[in-house]
Amino acid sequence: MDETDVRILELLLADARLSSRQIARRLGVSVGTVLGRIKRMERGGVIKGYSAILDHEKLGYELTVVTEVVVAKGKLLEMEREIAKWPNICCVYDVTGQTDAFVIAKFYNREELSAFTKRLLSLPLVERTNTHLVLTTVKENLNMI
């Protein structure tokens, strides 16, 4: 990746609806250059897709939680793959330290959070969890370069 690739990505992150022509005009390069570079980044997996950025609070998701999960030995990937399929799950991370994984999820209310926690604890691979309720979201943006 060079500076032109990074500039194309920055423009797409700011507004994925921009046309190749608009991007080319802003960068002072040809449309063919923009199209070729975008196709290359898509084929290489740098660009995985295009989507809208939603305001989850305006959609009614009142609660965001970060849950630490400790898993039975050797079963971490199985547990993570299972949890990643559940609705409300935003992120699942392997981590170092005393915790095996972090799960970030959003819920409409306490009842949904309670059901999630009980379902998670009922998994035979999960030894214990520790859930943190997010009080204030200072920054939430996974679209960065």
pLDDT one-digit tens code per residue, 65-81: 999 999 987 789 988 99
CA distance linking residue 119 with residue 144, whole number of Å: 33
**Mean pLDDT of all residues belonging to the chain:** 94
CA distance linking residue 24 with residue 4, whole number of Å: 10
**Tens digit of each residue's pLDDT (9 = 90 or more) over 90-127:** 999 999 999 999 999 999 999 999 999 999 999 988 99
Q: How far is CA 43 from CA 14, 79, 91, in A?
A: 21, 30, 24
Among candidate residues 103, 108, 106, 107, the one with its CA nearest the CA of residue 123: 103
pTM: 0.84
CA 43 from chain centre, in angstroms, equals: 20
Write down all domains in the chain, each with its CATH number in brackets.
3-43 (1.10.10.10), 63-133 (3.30.70.920)
Residue 133 is predicted with a pLDDT of 97
Beta bridge partners of 66: 104, 132
